[in-house]
Structure 1
Amino acid sequence: MTPLKKLSVAETFATLPKTPDETIVNEMLSAALDQFKKKIIVLDDDPTGVQTVHGVSVYTDWSMESLEEAFSEESRMFFILTNSRGFTASETQRAHEEIAARIQEVAAKQQQEFIIISRGDSTLRGHYPLETDVLRSTLEQQTDVSFDGEVIMPFFKEGGRFTIQDIHYVQDGETLIPAGETEFAKDRTFGYSASHLGEWTEEKSNGAFPSTDATYLSLDDIRNLQVDRLTDQLMKVEHFNKVIVNATEYIDVKVVVIALIRAMNGEKHFLFRSAAALTKIFGGVSDKSLLTKEELVSEQNQNGGLIMIGSHVKKTTEQFEVLQTCDFIKFIEFDVHLVLQPEQFEKEVQRVIEMTEKFIRNGQTVAVYTKRERLDLGENQQEDELKLSIQISNAVTSIVKSLKVRPRFIVAKGGITSSDIGTTGLSVKRATVAGQIKPGIPVWLTGNESKFPGLAYVIFPGNVGTATTLKEVVELLHH
């Protein structure tokens, strides 16, 4: 496959069709959402998917009790954190079979229609197409619904992920890099080569869904408000073929949602695989300014904060290097390579817990970071590496679980790290998304059942922000 060209951000955006009048689109959207009575259920494969919303609930399990509570909420949308990006394929399959079956059961009991958005990564990593395939087959077996299509929308403005002429790009400074040429495409578990989304779905489905069978919603039609034409395209989709959405602005998502609601009101059934932008618009979530320190930290709590750094992507390491210039933070390196020597490892975990506890109690903010060199066991050892990385993750989580003192705030860096700390370390069953502390960086307020109720828990994705963003977030919370 010939590598696609990198583009200049400024030049590319200058040549795109002009965006339509926001007021007109907002009126059309609000009318469409008023007519849309289905519950919106977002299955999030890691906790960063709430990075565009506020005032919605996130459930960390899918027990019948949680689902019944979620369906009874006033809110039109709720999130279930599946955390499946950290699962094996068979665990992912089992979880999605269980979730789909239970959602269907609760929905039937409460006589409530629903749609499911499978929220995946805006750089295209994750168990795709496994997740939506399992949701589709489970729901089709249990009901008389058959799904006409799957809507693919990885656009995520806050992270600089744009789809232009059916090709998905990742912004890096002033450049747009085709997704297939980025470090994310080389992911050991979820790698891929195609950047054209039709070719990507073909590649991921091993040819089951050829790119020529996909339906492409163009920026020209979207920006010229050709809602009838877009709706017609959607009405013709069948056999679970893919719908590729081009978007570089939230207004594009709004126009597409209007067309989608018209098609669904016309009895079309879709599943969705999207990044975080779609959920905000479908859920009718208003814009909200970034959170302030006053909204997040109580002045009564004079303890230090806690920063946990697990993610190894390049961006995290750059952000961590800048963080190290903060003189008010105590840094504790956690030597995770000792995982190969269980007794030493146990001692190391205890050492980190004791130091963390002592500093926080003394009012000092602590950053615990895993050793930056990756543990590499050599060729064909991925399964063993995965097992060890789970042990390491459990150890990182146990640091939070063992805390006897309530930190002023907790920041967790990296999706898998933040998920484990939220569900296991802090025992959260249901959190409320307070909003964002910086674009694309969500904050949970932990529920009453959790270890520290009402704590501001900042979920900092591995691949969001610039080199200085982590330092800025911590400074805002600390000072």
Structure 2
Amino acid sequence: MTAATHDVFAAEDDRRRVVIIDDDPTGTHTASDIDVVLRPDTAAFGAFLRGPRKAVFALSNSRSLPRAAAVAMVAGIVEQARTAAGATGDELAFLLRGDSALRGHVFPEMEAVLQNTSGLFVPAFLERGRFTRDGVHHLSVDGRAVPAAETEFARDRLFGFRSHRIADWVDEVTKGRWRARTIALDELREGGPHVVRDALFDAGPHEVVVPDATEYSDLETISAGLLAAERSGKSVVVRCGVSFATVRAGLRQRTIDDRRLSGRGRLLVVCGSVSETSTRQVSALGELAERRIEMSTDAALGGCPALVGELTTRIGEELATHGVAVLSTERTAHPGPDTPAVLLDAIADVVSAVAPTVDSVIVKGGITSSRVATDGFGARRATVAGQLMPGVPLWLLENRPFVVVPGSVGEDDALRRLVTAFSG
């Protein structure tokens, strides 16, 4: 076959239903009119397959889990989806949507989908200035493209790394178990989809193909090459950022006019993320920042029995008096490996207590969003309505507006603008 006459496919040419396994709730950055299964099980996938939509997000939240638990979670989701597909006669394609800053259990989760196979890794999130060029993944920092290894994400307590070149990063994070085959940008653009197809065919077990990509047209080329390889019988496990997931699943973005949000009742703002971006955004809330209800880390770690009741009362008073309440963790990095989980448990307990009095929600932090939605509001499914600003999706939890603001996303005034939109 030659690229001139064959094997150039678009996502709509593929009849398989697409399950996007998302390692935290921020994979819906660029999607609209799609459901998110917050508590995956066979029944939930059965409901998806009986419906009209081609793709669905399934939240694993695995980035917040230890490695073994993350692998078990992903493997379980794959098994549940395949069981449901067996009952409906559908064919499935899986995408592992992960962090565009190179964090997460990337390769163990790929092996949880399919053992001893080749991979495709496309971490781009173009709307946030995150792209791969010259074999180096870059992130936008203050409007400047910076190698990921030089950003705060490379210093992550669990997923930190030192390597600049993506091939070296693969070797570093897998301790040599996987190796990378890169495709330069010029090669991709000159050769088209067949370059990706051929690279995937040549890749052996535990070898991942990592193409450069700086524009959506590059992602479309990569997607066409992936589909060509798969149609010719090659098994490939895909790990990607949100931009490639959007292209491969045939999703569309829609910007929501935030003026439609005014008058949505009592608003709860929750900030669990302690990234530098999050702290600046909380500070920019002005008077609300001064009135915010801050959860004591020491009290949460000490299992203070009065903590949840005290915070619940204070939130109720703020909602009754001002219509807006802000709950946040302390604005310092969390010491100790168990601290984030303990704080998230406490946040979920507080939100669960105040949920009946809340009409709209804004949550800062991906993993925080997951816990607030599932354990705070008891939701099993959400629908993505669109984006309120680049990288900030609006979910609907049984028609309750629920805004997911990833920890590293948004300008300093993002939270303030969102609160203003809701409060009118």
Post-superposition CA distance 1:19-43 (Å, at most 9, x none): xxxxxxxxx98x6233211111111
Is 1:180 aligned to 2:149, yes or no?
Answer: yes
Equivalent pair of 2:183/2:209 in contact (CA under 8 Å)? yes
Shift of 1:195: 2.5
Q: Is residue 124 of structure 2 the alignment partner of residue 155 of structure 1? A: yes
Q: How does 1:168-247 map to 2 (within 5 A)?
A: 168-210=137-179, 214-224=180-190, 226-247=192-213
Post-superposition shift, 1:408?
3.6
Partner of 2:134: 165
Q: Distance in 2 between matches of 1:114 and 1:421?
A: 30
- Paired-residue identity, %: 26
Confirm or deny that 1:357 pairs with 2:316: yes
State the Cα distance separating 1:190 from its structure 2 match.
Answer: 1.1
The letter of the residue matching 2:312 is I
In the alignment, the residues of structure 2 paired with residue 231 and residue 97 of structure 1 have an alpha-carbon distance, to the nearest angstrom, of 26
Q: Secondary structure at the match of 2:209?
A: strand
Preserved contact between residue 266 and residue 359 of structure 2 (Cα < 8 Å):
yes
User: Matches of 1:287 and 1:370 in 2, distance apart?
Assistant: 32
Q: CA deviation at 1:75?
A: 1.2
Equivalent position amino acid for 2:76 in 1: E
TM-score if structure 2 supplies the norm length?
0.93
Alignment partner of 2:327 out of 360, 365, 368: 368
CA distance in 2, matches of 1:110, 1:52: 29
Letter aligned with residue 134 of structure 2: Q
Instruction: Supply the AA of the counterpart residue of 1:230.
Output: V
1:421 aligns with 2:375: no
Q: How much does 1:325 deviate?
A: 4.9
CA 1:64–1:251: 2 relative to 1, 3 Å: same
SS of 2:412 mapped into structure 1 = coil
Report the CA distance between 1:154 and its aligned residue.
0.7
Within the alignment, does 1:131 sit opposite 2:109 as a pair? Answer: yes
Q: Which residue of 2 aligns with 1:454?
A: 399
CA 1:232 to 1:44, structure 2 compared with 1: closer, same or farther past 3 Å? same
In 2: Cα distance, 1:406 partner to 1:195 partner: 48
Q: What amino acid is the match of 1:220?
A: D
Specify which of 345, 349, 355 is matched with residue 394 of structure 1. Answer: 345
Matched position secondary structure for 2:40:
coil
1:470 alignment partner in structure 2 = 415
Q: CA deviation at 1:294?
A: 4.9
Residue aligned with 1:238, SS: coil
Once the two structures are superposed, what CA deviation does each residue of 1:307-358 show, in whole Å capped at 9, x if it has no partner? 001111111111111123559x84222222212433xx33232121112122
Aligned to 2:281: 319
- Cα separation, 2, equivalents of 1:388 and 1:33: 42
Query: What's the TM-score once normalised by structure 1's chain length?
Result: 0.82
Can you list the C-alpha shifts for 1:250-285, whole angstroms capped at 9, x where unaligned?
221112111211221111121111111111111212
Deviation at 1:295, TM superposition (A): 4.4
> Partners of 2:401 and 2:414 in 1: how far apart?
18
Residue aligning to 2:54:
76
Distance, in Å, in 2 between the alignment partners of 1:182 and 1:41 is 31
Which residue of structure 1 lines up, in the alignment, with residue 73 of structure 2? 95
1:228 is displaced (CA, Å) by 3.1
Q: Where does structure 2 lack aligned partners over 5 or more consecutive residues? A: 1-6
- Write out per-residue CA displacement over residues 79-125 of structure 1, whole angstroms, 9 at most, x where no aligned residue: 11011111112211221232222222222332222221111111011
How many aligned positions are there? 418
Task: Tell me which amino acid in the other structure corresponds to 1:63.
Answer: D
The amino acid that maps onto 1:440 is G
- 2:251 is aligned, of 271, 285, 297, to 285
Change (3 A) 1:326 1:355: closer
Distance 1:296 1:268, change over 3 A: farther
Deviation at 1:53, TM superposition (A): 0.4
Structure 1 402/272 Cα, relative in aligned 2: closer, same or farther at 3 Å? same
Q: Which amino acid aligns with 2:72?
A: R
Query: In structure 2, which of residues 203, 211, 235 is the aligned counterpart of residue 269 of structure 1?
Result: 235
Contact 1:59–1:430, Cα closer than 8 Å, also in 2: yes
CA distance in 2, matches of 1:239, 1:369: 45
- Structure 1 residue 411, shift from structure 2 partner: 0.6
**Superposition deviation, residue 363 in structure 1:** 4.7
Contact 1:305/1:410 (8 A) holds in 2:
yes
Could you list the per-position Cα deviations for residues 358-403 of structure 1 after superposition, in whole angstroms to 9, with x for gaps in the alignment?
Answer: 2223452111111223343xxxxxxxx3334322211111121111
Measure the CA separation in 2 of the matches of 1:311 and 1:189: 15
How big is each residue's C-alpha offset from its partner over 1:151-178, in whole Å with a ceiling of 9 and x where there is no partner? 1111101222110111001111232211
SS in 1 for 2:292: strand
CA distance in 2, matches of 1:287, 1:339: 39
Contact 2:300–2:346 at 8 Å: present in 1 too? no
